[in-house]
Chains A and B, each alone.
Chain A
Amino acid sequence: MPPLNDINSETLGTVEALTQSGYKYGFTTDIEMDLAPLGLNEDIVRLISARKNEPQWMLDWRLKAFALWQTMTEPNWAQIGYPPIDYQGIHYYAAPVKKAGPKSLDEVDPELLRTYEKLGIPLRERAILAGVEGADQPSQIAVDAVFDSVSVATTFRETLSKSGVIFCPISEAVRDHPDLVKQYLGSVVPQGDNYFAALNCAVFTDGSFVYIPKGVRCPMELSTYFRINARNTGQFERTLIIAEAGAYVSYLEGCTAPQRDENQLHAAVVELVVMDDAQIKYSTVQNWYPGDADGKGGIYNFVTKRGACRGARSKISWTQVETGSAITWKYPSCVLEGDDSVGEFYSVAVTNNRQQADTGTKMIHVGRNTKSTIVSKGISAGYSNNTYRGLVRITQRAKGARNHTQCDSLLIGEHCGAHTVPYIESRNPTAKVEHEATTSKIAEDQLFYCRQRGLSQEDAVGLIVNGFCKDVLKELPMEFAVEAQKLLAVSLEGSVG
C-alpha cells in the first residue's frame, strides 16, 4: 500500500480535473424571456401578482408579507459565510415568452422540451424517467416542470383527477382552488416566519399544489422539477401539499441550474398538511449548480420546508440528498400536533470544494405519543464546511413522546470542516430522547481492504460512502436512489484522502 500522502497528491490532481467537468447540468437554454425589471419594491410584487392573474386577496397577502420582510433582518446563526446579497440586483420574475398557457405539450416551446430531454425529465406522458439505469420497471411519475418563475408543463393531470387528486402549478390553484389555498397557504409557514420565508411569500412565482382527498392513495409518484435558467434571477417557488384523512402521497423534487459565475438566490417555501392517518413522503435530490472549484458561482439555497402533522397517527417523512448549491440553508421540519403522529428526517448532505451546507431539521412534539426519527449523514471534502443543525423540542403536553437522532459526519481530506449542532429541549418527563453523533474519516484499513480486493481508490471511496449513507438512501424511491448514488459518486470524485 503506498503511503497515504502519495494517494493524497495523486488523487487531489484528479479532483481538479473532475470538478471542472463534474456538473453535467450546467448548460443554458437560449430562449426569449419575459423579465421583470431588476430590483424589489411594492410595484414588483404587484407586477408578479398581475402576471399571474391573481385575485386581490392573493395580492394583499403578498403585500403584507413584503411589509413584514422589510422590517426583518437576515438570520446570521448558521455556520455559513457569504458576501451581502444584493436584493435589488435580482429579477424577481423571469418566464419564457409564450402564448397564454399552453394547452398541450405541442404548444410548449421546443427549446424547452429539448432542455427537459437533456435533463432526463419526462414531459411526455407514459415516457419513462430517462437516463436511469438499474430500474427495471420504472413506475410512472407525474411531473410538474418549473422553469425560472413559471410552470411550463404538468403531466398526468387527467389520470390523477380521476381519483380526485389535484396536481397543478400553484399559480393555477390560486385561481381554480382558492378556498383550499386560502385555508392552507401560510398555515404551516406563516408570512413572518423568517427572513427568507417572508421574501418568498411576497414574490413567489410558481411551484406545485397537491391535494389528495380523503382516503385516496395517490396512484403514482408526483414530482416537481425546478430549473433556474435566466441570468440574474432568483427562483422563489412555493409548494403546498395537503393530504386529507387516510390519504397517501409520495412526492419527489429535483433541481438543477446552469453553470454561471454569479451567485443566484433560491428561496423556496414548502408546506405540508397531513390529517388523521394520512402520510406524505417527500423526497428531494438537490443538485443546484454548486459553483466551481474555487467557489465562484453557484446557487444560494435558502429554503423553508415544514410539515404539520395535524391529524392523529399522521406521518411525514422527509428524505433529502443535498449535493448541490454553493450554500444550503435548509431545515425540513415536522410539527407533530396529532396524537401518535410520526415525523422522520433522513438526510445525506455532501459538500466539496468551497461549498457550505448548514442543514438539518426541527421536530416539534406537541401531541401525545408522538415519535420522531432523525438520521443525518454529512460528508465533507475539499475546502467545504458541512453542518448538521437540528432541534428536538418536547413540549409539556407531549406525554410519551420519543425521539431518536443519529448524526454521522465523514471527513475526506484535511481542509474541510464537519459540524454538529443539535438543540434538545424537553419539558415532559415521560418523553425519551436519544441523540448520538460521531465524526470519522474513511478508515485506511477499509480502503486497503477494498483495494486489495481489486477496487480502484475511487470505487472504494464510492462504495464506502454509499455504505455510510445507506440508512438514508434506502428511504428514497428506487428511481431516485439510483440517481442519488450516481450523484454522490460524481460529487466526491477524486476527493479521496
Chain B
Amino acid sequence: MSVLTYSGIEGFFARFAALRPHLPGDVAARDRAAAILRVQGLPSIRDEAWKYTNLRPVAQASFQSAATADPSALLARLPQLNAPRLVMVDGHYLATLSTLPPQVKCLPFAAAPKFGTLANPACEPMVALNTMLAEDGFSLTIPANIDAGLIVIAHLTTAARSTHPRHAITLEEGARASLLEIYLGEGAYLHNPVTEIHIGEGANLTHARLQDEAEEGFHLGTIYARIAAHSIYDSFSLNIGARLSRTELHASLAGAHATAHLNAAQILTGVQHADFTTIVSHDAPHGASRQTVKNALAGRSRGVFQGKIHVARGAQKTDGYQMNQALLLSPDAEIDSKPQLEIYADDVKCSHGATIGELDADQLFYLRSRGVPESQARGMLVRAFLSDAIDMVANGASRAVLETAVELWWQRHPA
C-alpha cells in the first residue's frame, strides 16, 4: 500500500472515505460522527470550550498513512517495572508485547468494536473525529472483587500518523486496579485517544498518566469516567510532552458517596502548549471531588487549566474542591485559567482557589544564602511546588516513575 499524505479537516474526511469499508463496527455511528464534524468542523477559539487552545497547528499539519515502524527504541524508554503491561503501538493493541495478569480480560477494539455510552460525539468534535476514524484500541476488564494491582499501559507512536484509538476500562463491583499510562512517540503525529472508564460499585481505580509525547507531536486525549456508588476514581496526569496537548477529563459521580480525584501537573518550556480541562459532574448525593492542578511554565510556553464542577439538582451534600496554581518561570510564559462552579443544589460545599505568580524571592534567597546555586535552587523550589500534586499519587511505583520524569525534565531544561 502506498503512503498517503493528508491534512486538515478535508484530509480527515478523505481518510475516512478511504478507510470506511475496512473499519470495524457500527458504520452508522461513524457516519453520524462524520456528519457532526461536517457541521461543526474542528474546534476554534470562538468555541467557549476551546477559547484558550487553538488547533490551527493541528489543522495545518500533514499526516501519513504510513505503516508502523519498529517500536523497540520507544519500548526501551519505558521504565523497568516488575509489573504486567499492555502495549499499544500506533493505536493498535500488540498482544505479543503485552503481559497481562490472568484474571484481567483484554480485547482489542478491532475484534470487539463498541463505541460505548459515555462519549458523546455531538458535544465534542475531537470525539467525533475519533469515532469517525477509530481503527483499534483496547478494552480492559477487571472482574468483580479482583485486585489487579499495577498494570502499565504504554502508548507508542512511531511515525507521523494521526491515530484515533478507542479504549475502554471497566472495573466491576469491588474490583481494584492501579493503571500507569505512558505516552511516548517519535515524529510529528496526532494522537487522539478516547477512553471510557466504568467504575462499578465499591471499586477503586488509581489512574496515573505520563504524557511524554514527542516534541513535535500533538496529543488530544478525551477521558470519560463514570463512578458508581461508594467507588473511587483517583487520577493524576503529568503532562510534559507534545508541542500541543489537551487532556479533557469528564468525571461523573453517578452513584451516592462516589469520590473523584483529578489531579495534574504540567511542566512546559519552549513553545509548548498544554491544556488540562476537567468537567466534574456531581450527579448523586454525598459525592466528593478533589482537584489539585499545577502548572510550571518556562520559555514561551502556555499552560491552560479549565475546570468545571457541576452539581446537579438533588446532588445534596456534595463536597467539591479545586485548587489550581501556576508558576511563571519566564517573562514570555502564559497561563490561562478558568475554574468554574455550576451549582444547582443548595446543601453543598464547593470552592475553588487559584494563584498565579513566580518563584518566591525570599525562598530563593534563603536557598542561595545557604550556598545552593541559583539554577539548582529554582529546580528545588519548582519540584517542591509540584510535589503537593505528585505526592497524591497513591501507587508508589507510579509515583516514582512520575518523579523521575520530572527530575529528567529538569535536567534537560533547567529553567
Contacts and interface: CB of A to CB of B under 8 A. Distances in A.
Interface stretch (B32-40, B350-358, B386-394, B402-410): B350-358
Contact of B341 (A413, A416, A434, A437): A437
Nearest to B52: A425
B177 interface: no
Interface residue tally on B, bucketed by range: 35 or more
B312 to A, nearest CB: 10
Contact of A426 (B328, B344, B345): B328
Contact of B349 (A413, A419, A440): A440
Interface of chain B, helix or strand or loop or mixed? strand
Nearest to A419: B342
The residue among A424, A432, A440 with the most chain B CB atoms within 10 A of its own CB is: A424
B330 interface: yes
B334 interface: yes
A437 B355 CA distance: 12
A421 B340 contact: yes
B336 A439 contact: no
A449 to B, nearest CB: 18
Contact of A435 (B331, B333, B353): B353
Given A429-B329, A434-B355, A409 B340 contact: no
A428 B343 contact: no
B313 interface: yes
A433 interface: yes
B326 to A, nearest CB: 7
A423 interface: yes
Contact of B346 (A411, A424, A429): A411
B331 A429 contact: yes
A418 B341 contact: yes
Contact of B331 (A396, A437, A440): A396
A424 B336 CA distance: 6
B338 interface: yes
Interface residues of A, number: 37
B346 A413 contact: yes
B347 interface: yes
B353 A437 contact: yes
B347 A435 contact: no
Contacts of B331: 396, 428-429
Nearest to B329: A429
Contact of B356 (A396, A414, A432): A432
Contacts of B237: none
Given A409-B343, A411-B346, A426 B335 contact: yes
A294 to B, nearest CB: 19
B346 A437 contact: no
Contacts of A431: 356-357
B339 A435 contact: yes
A436 B354 CA distance: 6
Contacts, number: 114
B140 interface: no
B110 interface: no
Contacts of A440: 348-349
A435 B354 contact: yes
Given A419-B343, A422-B338, A426-B335, A437 B358 contact: no
B48 interface: yes
B269 interface: no
Nearest to B334: A427
B336 A77 contact: no
A497 interface: yes
Contacts of B313: 414-415
A474 interface: no
Contacts of B350: 438-439
B354 A429 contact: no
B348 A439 contact: yes
A436 B353 contact: yes
Nearest to A444: B347
Interface in A352-398: 394, 396
B337 interface: yes
Contacts of A497: 346
B334 A433 contact: no
B352 A420 contact: yes
B26 to A, nearest CB: 33
A426 B354 contact: no
Interface string A138-155: 000000000000000000
Contacts of B355: 432-435
A400 to B, nearest CB: 11
A412 B337 contact: no
A439 B351 contact: yes
B346 A433 contact: no
A440 B353 CA distance: 15
A417 interface: yes
B356 to A, nearest CB: 4
A219 B48 CA distance: 46
Interface in B104-160: none
A77 B46 CA distance: 10
A424 B356 contact: yes
B334 A414 contact: no
Given A396-B331, A429-B331, A435-B339, A422 B354 contact: yes
A433 B354 contact: yes
Contacts of B339: 420, 422, 424, 435, 437
A418 B348 CA distance: 11
Contacts of B344: 416-417
A438 B351 contact: yes
Nearest to B306: A423
B356 A433 contact: yes
Nearest to B339: A422
Contacts of A416: 344, 346
Given A416-B344, A416-B346, 8 more contacts: A420-B339, A420-B352, A423-B336, A424-B338, A429-B357, A431-B357, A439-B341, A439-B350
The 9 closest A-B pairs by CB, nearest first: A429-B328, A411-B346, A435-B354, A429-B358, A433-B356, A420-B341, A424-B337, A438-B351, A439-B350
14 contacts: A409-B341, A414-B313, A417-B344, A419-B343, A424-B356, A429-B329, A429-B358, A432-B355, A433-B355, A434-B354, A435-B339, A437-B339, A439-B341, A441-B346
